[in-house]
């Protein structure tokens, strides 16, 4: 079966995988164990006996990719990485794994993080127990129930006609991106967009529009993208989150985020719109030949 064209179906505890070959996602502290050389990477697909010997704990059954059971586990740090395997960061595997596999790997990383960090009750410190039917953890001592964390954060593409606002964070090298910030308690997404933009750049916004979302497993964020039109103010970076921000045009864009990110998708869509506007304007004033005369 071609797993490149299949979709992932979630399973929830206490489900168990069907016997037979499975797709394995084994994570070490630094990344995902992958078979094959760079550019030809693949997840391990096969029986369980060889892979289970590498795992620190019993694997988590996540669901199926097509009809293939998918199992996630933590690599035993006391073992050496077996011959033929390498450890790769999830970000570096974008474009080498299929879209379905890459999305699955992000989900696996988040669920393993949840298992590693939810063994004790945050209220009383007692050991927690798994709940039937979902990924929640129950404290038998005080009754507190916790669920896997999802941390919402906004991405904000600020535009002003042919200008795009891009910002730089310390440690990013030459790379610039759109604005971003975590949603605070009691705050709507739109309020977060306006607050983060004002705090980080001193700019006012109007015409907010939701674009889309992306799970971002570093370790458990959900990125929610918005576009907004510049409504006033002068750029004044906060000097903490950002050390520089500037207006750019299509002609002078700096180094941008990698294609894996929703921020890059939003920037690329803005570039496409600007190029279309520019081509239309040139057509109207006769700088480009009309399609009818071609």
Of 278, 48, 54, give the one whose Cα is nearest residue 161. 278
Contact indicator for 61, 15 with CB cutoff of 8 Å: yes
Total-model pTM = 0.85
Instruction: Note the pLDDT of residue 294.
Output: 47
pLDDT tens digits, 22-33? 999 999 987 999
Q: What is the pLDDT of residues 263-280, one digit of tens each?
A: 999 999 999 999 998 887
Pairing outcome for strands 151-160 and 163-168:
antiparallel
How many CA atoms lie within 13 Å of 124's alpha carbon, on the beta-carbon side? 11
User: What are 237-267's pLDDT values in tens digits?
Assistant: 989 899 999 999 999 999 999 888 999 999 9
State pLDDT tens for residues 92-104. Answer: 888 888 888 889 9
Give the Cα-Cα-Cα angle 284, 286, 289 (nearest 5 degrees). Answer: 100
Fold of 151-284: Nucleoside Triphosphate Pyrophosphohydrolase (3.90.79)
Q: Which CATH architecture has domain 3-117?
A: Alpha-Beta Complex (3.90)
């Amino acid at each position: 079966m071609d797993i490149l064209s299949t979709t992932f179906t979630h399973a929830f505890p206490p489900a168990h995988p069907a016997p037979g070959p499975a797709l394995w996602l084994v994570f070490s502290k630094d990344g995902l164990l992958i078979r094959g050389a760079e550019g030809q990477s693949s997840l391990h697909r096969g029986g369980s006996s060889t892979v289970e010997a590498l795992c620190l704990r019993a694997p988590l059954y996540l669901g199926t990719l097509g009809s293939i059971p998918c199992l996630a586990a933590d690599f035993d740090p006391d073992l050496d990485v077996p011959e033929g395997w390498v450890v790769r960061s999830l970000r570096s595997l974008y474009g080498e794994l299929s879209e379905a596999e890459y999305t699955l790997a992000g989900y696996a990383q988040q669920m393993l993080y949840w298992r590693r960090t939810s063994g004790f009750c945050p209220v009383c410190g007692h050991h927690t127990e798994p709940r039937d039917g979902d990924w929640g953890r129950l404290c038998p001592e005080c009754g507190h129930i916790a669920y896997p964390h999802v941390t919402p954060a906004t991405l904000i593409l600020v535009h002003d006609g042919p200008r795009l606002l891009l910002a730089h964070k310390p440690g990013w090298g030459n790379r610039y991106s759109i604005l971003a910030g975590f949603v605070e308690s009691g705050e709507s997404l739109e309020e977060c967009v306006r607050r983060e933009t004002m705090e980080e750049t001193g700019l006012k916004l109007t015409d907010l529009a939701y674009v889309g979302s992306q799970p971002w497993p570093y370790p458990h964020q959900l990125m929610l993208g918005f576009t907004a039109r510049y409504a006033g103010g002068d750029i004044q970076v906060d000097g903490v989150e950002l050390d520089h921000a500037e207006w750019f045009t299509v002609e002078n864009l700096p180094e941008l985020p990698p294609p894996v990110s929703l921020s890059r998708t939003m920037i690329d869509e803005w570039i496409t719109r600007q190029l279309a506007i520019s081509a239309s304007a040139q057509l109207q004033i006769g700088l480009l030949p009309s399609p009818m005369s071609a």
